[in-house]
Amino acid sequence: MKRDIFSSMKDTILDTSAVIFDVKRYAIHDGPGIRTAVFFKGCPLRCRWCHNPEGTETFPDLLLNSTICASCYTCLKLCPNNALGSDKSGALTPFRELCNGCGLCVEACPYDALQLAGRQVSLKALLSELERDRIFYDQSGGGVTLTGGEPLLQHEFVIALMKELRNRSIHSVLDTSGYAPKEIFRRAAAESDLILYDLKLVDEHRHKEVTGVSNKLIIDNLKWAANSGLDLVIRIPLIPGINDSDVEIRDKAKFLAALGNIRSVNILPYHRGGLEKARRLGESSSFDEFEAPSEEMLNMALKIFRDHGFEVKTGG
Amino acid sequence: MNERVRRLRERSLQTEPTISSERARLVTEFYSGPGARGVSAVMQRAMAFKYIMENKEICINDDELIVGERGPSPKATPTYPEVTCHTISDLETLNSRPKTSFRVTEETKKIYSESVIPFWRGRSMRDRIFSEMTQEWKDAYDAGVFTEFMEQRAPGHTVNGGTIYHKGMLSLKEDISRAIAGLDYYNDPEAFSKKEQLCAMSICADAIITFARRHSDLARRMSANEKNPQRQAELLRIAKICRRVPADAPRDFYEALQAYWFIHLGVITEYNTWDAFNPGRLDQHLWPFYKKGLEENSLTREGAKDLLQAFWVKFNNQPSPPKVGVTAEESGTYTDFALINVGGLKRDGSDGVNELSFLILDVIEEMRILQPSSMVQISARTPDSFLIRALRIVRTGFGQPSIFNSDAIVKELVRQGKIVQDAREGGASGCVEAGAFGREAYILTGYFNLPKIFEITLHNGFDPRTGKKIGLQTGTPESFDTFDKLFAAYKRQIQYFVDIKIRGSNVIERLYMDNLPAPFLSILIDDCIARGKDYHAGGARYNTNYIQGVGTGTITDSLSSINYNVFERNRLSLKSLASILDRNYDNEEILRNIFLNKTPKYGNDDDFADSLMQRVFEAYFDAVDGRPSPRGGKYRINMLPTTAHIYFGKVLGATPDGRKAEEPISEGVSPVQGADRHGPTAVIKSVGKMDHIRTGGTLLNQKFTPQLLNDEDDLVKLAHLVRSYFRLDGHHIQFNVVSADLLKEAQVHPERHRDLIVRVAGYSDYFVDCGTELQDEIIRRTEHQAL
């Protein structure tokens, strides 16, 4: 019963409509100034530490926050697909394979315990939502950040959105994994004012192991972007046991230094924020729990990048 | 902070507040003695003031640089039986209540029962006020529809201007004499009462000089016995300074602070004025002395800081005079709201920030004491460095300084009819109230419970708590078939209760005018001398009366819930809603949560809710603004609660926004706690839809966790947030940095804390949306960062 929103939307993407799973205002760690971040649904990568697991799939995800759920069963009575039931203890239990993401339960839940990650939004409606914080963008040199998921999965919309933002003199930041066909990446890059470029691992084999995809596209797009002199900030998630070894960090720093034109690196230390969302998605098993990096580890990473001549900071 | 200041500060913190019977005894002696007979009310006041200043016990304490106390010793708090006469049971309550208690000795109780109570019972202003109020007024007051400021404390709310820094009392006495000489008995029918007023002012000027000189004499006597040569020299300097000021104008930084302090003590001894007294634009007033001292090498930056810190301690030594009953609930705090203004604009409109402004911020940061309160005024011209410096103090989580918009204050005051230069020299005092410092009597008359009036509207004029009819009969719930009809009924009820409130206030104002004038305060405020009129009687250049609207968030969300759930979604009828509210949502948790979670709320930049806030604002504004007061001033509104939102919640049943009976209502113009779920920019957009310029002050509180303010970048963004709010004409914003304890509370009760945003790592999220592991981690970090 899972409905692939992209297949059902193929015609409407050109009518500039997209699926997003959040619009977050006062985003202050995703580019300059005060920003509004738009989270696009769907991601080709499956990083085991993902902190937005509700953004990876291309179908709407039902999230259940059991600590808030009062087991009133208002939702249960409404679901047209019998996708909601209760377990022996009476706790609400979603049967996600039956859920088609219609959202009736979410709309009705009195406690806001149910949420749907994935709503369709027209370009026009999204722009008016984004323009609400214009005074803050203007004041702070902020703007809009397109993130996800992987925004370039919905590239036509994303490009159209950035064009419209530019027409309105609103600064746009593209936060991307870089995992996109080069034509698409280049077109999108041209419309953005700044790219936050995620780099997990340089080693292709390891990359595939922990994200599920090769990093060839990512590296190629990055090289092109660096060569073209685009405004780039490299964001590196620091995941203990995955990419935090001294050698790994040095390799990455050397690799980036060799690209030239890159000045700025952000280190994003792993945190457990994704686990709760994975739990709410019923997907705990698909994600690993890691330790948060120690202060020493973080400082070491910062120092290595600094020694290679980068402006480096923690967080975005 | 040097060792001396550390000791002074520590001693002030450790001293327990007590009730002193001294002032009550002296004022009773004077009024029951022969001196009070056969003279006008204003002369009685002047002579009573003189009697207190000549006879009260004075002290100079170890290490002090700035001297003088209101009571016989620090934190010994006097009472004002001519305004409100405490009963023995009041005194016992003060002694035993768990919060803001004052120790009361048996001796004090004895003096009260033997002389103070027998003399003042039935004569105090409070007794007179209650005997003059109508039944409608008493019913509304008892129901908690409004409070009355002047039933226990004298009208005050005033702020010092610049006069005392360039004019001594002797010179002001000359002004008074000239005014007397210029009285025209042939053509001015008020000439004689003006003469009485001016003579009374002159007596008060002498009294404050005497009071200062008594300190000079004491310092000289103490120096004779002082073994430590350094302290001996200090005492001799104190003796010299107290001989000079406030009789003559101060010549240096030290004298300026001491001059102000004597004036301050004079005002708060004459009456228990609301909001004590206030040095106002301290950095502006002291700047010439500071600059001159540095240029002449007679003052160092460190020396100035020590003096300012010693000055700060003096404020902390004066707890707010104790209130009883409802008034204690509406502002249950030791703080007396002396709000020092730093930054802002100069008279000519240029930026007022100077080196001393930064130094005062250092003082605020180091002192970290309850009193005085402090704020920064930020205009479009204020440098960012100053705002960021202030935010760096805010980050430490001590609630000060609060942040005000100078440009909004100027616009508000100009709209009220002040000339722009006077407006620029003004600021905010008390909580957030705008005023033309040194030139305006702006009296707060009471809080006004906007949600309570809606409850009465829903009950066709009856108060459901008592079953008493106290409002108009504007219709039963069944009779409102549209939202607009319901709102029209609410508007009529607002008008009705504002009328009752204003009728009462006009009577009270007249009672003070005729019976308890304030000749000492009148010396200080322009143009009381020139007009020969008392501060309480329209002597000030500008006169304003405020009624403070409370519960913006609660009333907006209540109306939104009705408009949305009853009239738009037809979820239930207004009649059944009213009955569910009467039963306090008993067995209606699901519905209550729909009201809480699935209904448009103020604070989310949602026009559905925000437009209702605007309608309430307009209805309230129309009922109050521009109405005349006996002093020749006008009534205006502002939107602030102090702590009245707690009392107002206690007298209010369940509300349609999902709030249960007796819980606090929203404070200031902030959204209902937990109702704002789209972050601070959405809050600011919502609150920015209120027309702040037509108020005399609004109060917005925002909560922040310390991690959101970790690095410089975060502070810069916070500064932008403030600037954006001010571009929307926001009046004031205060940041409360959240404690680890509150986060723990939020773990247990997520439903109450859905608005709490925390920084995780490289991003921020709602605290209640973080998993337990992460929550625990954030709590640990918060504990770690707490100072």
pLDDT digits (tens, 9 = 90+) for B227-242: 999 999 999 999 999 9
Residues 6 or more apart from B426 whose CB is under 8 A from it? B159, B409, B410, B413, B418, B434, B435, B436, B437, B440
Using DSSP bridges, classify how beta strands A119-122 and A17-27 pair: parallel, antiparallel or unpaired. Answer: antiparallel
Letter string b/e over residues B514-524, b meaning 16 or more CB atoms within 10 A of that residue's CB: ebbbbbbbbbb
Under an 8 A CB cutoff, do B762 and A110 touch? no
Q: Which residue has the tokens 């030290």?
A: B254
User: Is residue B540 a contact partner of residue B525, using CB atoms and an 8 Å limit?
Assistant: yes
- Per-residue pLDDT band for B67 (boundaries 50, 70, 90) equals very high
- Per-residue pLDDT band for B333 (boundaries 50, 70, 90) equals confident
User: What pLDDT shows up at residue A274?
Assistant: 85
B494/B140 Cα distance (integer angstroms) = 12
User: Is residue B576 a contact partner of residue B475, using CB atoms and an 8 Å limit?
Assistant: no
Letter string b/e over residues A144-173, b meaning 16 or more CB atoms within 10 A of that residue's CB: bbbbbbbbbbbbbbbbbbbebbeeeebbbb
* Residues on chain B touching A314 (C-beta within 8 angstroms): 761-762
Structure tokens of B406? 């100078």
DSSP state string for A184-226: HHHHHHHH-SEEEEE---S-HHHHHHHHSS-SHHHHHHHHHHH
Segment A215-234 shows an average pLDDT of 96
Nearest by CB to B679, from A26, A29, A110: name it: A26
For residue B776, count CB atoms less than 10 angstroms from its CB and return exposed for 0-12, middle for 13-18, buried for 19 or more. Answer: middle
Least confident of A46-55, A85-94, A272-281, B760-769: B760-769
Nearest by CB to B760, from A70, A271, A279: name it: A271
Region of B364 (left: φ > 0; alpha: ψ -120 to 50; beta: rest) is alpha
B303/B91 Cα distance (integer angstroms) = 42
Mutation for A interface: B378, B591, B593, B595, most A CBs within 10 A: B593
Chain A nearest C-alpha distance from B704 (Å): 13
A103/A94 Cα distance (integer angstroms) = 13
* pLDDT for A13 beyond 50: no
Which residues 605-634 of chain B have a CB within 8 Å of chain A? 605
Segment B627-644 shows an average pLDDT of 93
A interface toward B at CB cutoff 8 Å?
A: 24-30, 33-34, 51, 65, 67-68, 70, 72, 74, 107-112, 132-133, 135-136, 139-140, 142, 266, 268-273, 275-276, 279, 292, 314-316
- Measuring CA to CA, which residue among A151, A118, A138, A147 is closest to residue A30? A147
Residues 6 or more apart from A285 whose CB is under 8 A from it? none
Segment B213-219 shows an average pLDDT of 98
Structure tokens of B105? 């000795």
Catalytic residue among B22, B64, B433, B588: B433
* pLDDT for B786 beyond 90: no
pLDDT digits (tens, 9 = 90+) for B478-491: 999 999 999 999 99
Inform me whether the C-beta atom of residue B59 falls under 8 Å from chain A C-beta atoms: no
Under an 8 A CB cutoff, do A275 and B774 touch? yes
Using DSSP bridges, classify how beta strands A171-176 and A143-148 pair: parallel, antiparallel or unpaired. Answer: parallel
- Measuring CA to CA, which residue among B689, B677, B684 is closest to residue B700? B684
* pLDDT for A21 beyond 80: yes
B776/B761 Cα distance (integer angstroms) = 14
CA atoms within 13 A on the CB side of B84: 25
- Measuring CA to CA, which residue among A63, A48, A156, A143 is closest to residue A101? A63
Q: Which residue has the tokens 């933002």?
A: A165
Structure tokens of B622? 């129309």
Region of B658 (left: φ > 0; alpha: ψ -120 to 50; beta: rest) is left
Under an 8 A CB cutoff, do A132 and B720 touch? no
Segment B89-113 shows an average pLDDT of 91
User: What pLDDT shows up at residue B334?
Assistant: 85
Instruction: Give the bridge partners for A114, in sequence order.
Output: A64
Classified as helix, coil or strand, A85 is: strand
User: Is residue B295 a contact partner of residue B355, using CB atoms and an 8 Å limit?
Assistant: no
Residues 6 or more apart from B3 whose CB is under 8 A from it? none
- The percent of residues above 70 in pLDDT, for chain B, comes to 97
- Pure H helices in chain A: 5-14, 74-78, 104-108, 123-130, 134-140, 155-167, 182-191, 204-211, 216-227, 246-259, 273-281, 295-307
Nearest by CB to A25, from B679, B763, B777: name it: B679
Structure tokens of A56? 């990876």
* Residues on chain B touching A139 (C-beta within 8 angstroms): 720, 723-724, 727
Peptide bond preceding B527: is omega within 30 degrees of 0, i.e. cis?
A: yes
User: What pLDDT shows up at residue B323?
Assistant: 78
Segment B585-608 shows an average pLDDT of 97
Least confident of B93-102, B407-416, B753-762: B753-762
Q: How far apart are the first and last CA of chain B?
A: 17
User: What pLDDT shows up at residue B765?
Assistant: 73
DSSP B35: G
ipTM over 0.85? The verdict is yes
Classified as helix, coil or strand, B695 is: coil
DSSP B786: -
Distances (CA, A) of A216 to A181, A205, A278, B77: 11, 10, 28, 77
- Amino acid identity, residue B625? D
Structure tokens of B20? 């002193």
Inform me whether the C-beta atom of residue B774 falls under 8 Å from chain A C-beta atoms: yes
- Measuring CA to CA, which residue among B652, B748, B767 is closest to residue B704? B767
User: What pLDDT shows up at residue A261?
Assistant: 87
- In the residue annotation, B618 being an active-site residue is answered as no
User: Is residue B651 a contact partner of residue B540, using CB atoms and an 8 Å limit?
Assistant: no
Under an 8 A CB cutoff, do B685 and A279 touch? no
Inform me whether the C-beta atom of residue B771 falls under 8 Å from chain A C-beta atoms: yes
User: Is residue B767 a contact partner of residue B752, using CB atoms and an 8 Å limit?
Assistant: no
Instruction: Give the bridge partners for A196, in sequence order.
Output: A175, A233
pLDDT digits (tens, 9 = 90+) for A50-87: 989 999 998 999 999 998 899 999 999 999 999 999 99
Q: How confident is the prediction for chain B on average, in pLDDT?
A: 94
User: What pLDDT shows up at residue B140?
Assistant: 98
Q: How far apart are the first and last CA of chain A?
A: 38
* pLDDT for B787 beyond 70: no
Helix/strand/coil (H/E/C) assignment for every residue in B741-752: HHHHHHHHCHHH
Chain A / chain B CB contacts < 8 angstroms: 125
pLDDT, greater one: B521 or B673: B521
Helix, strand and coil in chain A, % to nearest 5? 40, 20, 35
B637/B346 Cα distance (integer angstroms) = 26
* Residues on chain B touching A140 (C-beta within 8 angstroms): 716-717, 720-721, 724
pLDDT, greater one: B690 or B784: B690
User: What pLDDT shows up at residue B376?
Assistant: 98
* pLDDT for A291 beyond 70: yes
Catalytic residue among B85, B204, B242, B431: B431
pLDDT digits (tens, 9 = 90+) for A121-131: 999 999 999 99
User: What pLDDT shows up at residue B763?
Assistant: 62
- CA B561, B566, B568, B570 dihedral sign is positive
pLDDT digits (tens, 9 = 90+) for B531-549: 999 999 999 999 999 999 9
B540/B522 Cα distance (integer angstroms) = 8
DSSP B324: -
A137/B237 Cα distance (integer angstroms) = 56
Chain B nearest C-alpha distance from A109 (Å): 8
B106/B91 Cα distance (integer angstroms) = 10
B671/A170 Cα distance (integer angstroms) = 29
pLDDT digits (tens, 9 = 90+) for A131-157: 999 999 999 999 999 999 999 999 999
Under an 8 A CB cutoff, do A139 and B724 touch? yes
User: What pLDDT shows up at residue A7?
Assistant: 47
* pLDDT for B710 beyond 90: no
- Per-residue pLDDT band for B329 (boundaries 50, 70, 90) equals low
A62/A46 Cα distance (integer angstroms) = 18
B453/B473 Cα distance (integer angstroms) = 12
User: What pLDDT shows up at residue B709?
Assistant: 78
Least confident of A116-120, A299-303, B780-784: B780-784
Q: Which residue has the tokens 């780099």?
A: A199
Under an 8 A CB cutoff, do A26 and B777 touch? no
- Per-residue pLDDT band for B195 (boundaries 50, 70, 90) equals very high
- Measuring CA to CA, which residue among B742, B756, B750, B757 is closest to residue B772? B750
- In the residue annotation, B433 being an active-site residue is answered as yes
User: What pLDDT shows up at residue B325?
Assistant: 66
Q: Which residue has the tokens 């009950």?
A: B459
- Per-residue pLDDT band for A316 (boundaries 50, 70, 90) equals low
User: Is residue B707 a contact partner of residue B718, using CB atoms and an 8 Å limit?
Assistant: no
* Residues on chain A touching B605 (C-beta within 8 angstroms): 132
B68/B264 Cα distance (integer angstroms) = 10
Inform me whether the C-beta atom of residue B380 falls under 8 Å from chain A C-beta atoms: no
- Measuring CA to CA, which residue among B504, B474, B506 is closest to residue B490? B474
Q: Does the pTM of the predicted model rise above 0.90?
A: yes
* Residues on chain B touching A143 (C-beta within 8 angstroms): none
User: What pLDDT shows up at residue B621?
Assistant: 98
**Phi, psi (deg, nearest 5) at residue A248:** -60, -45
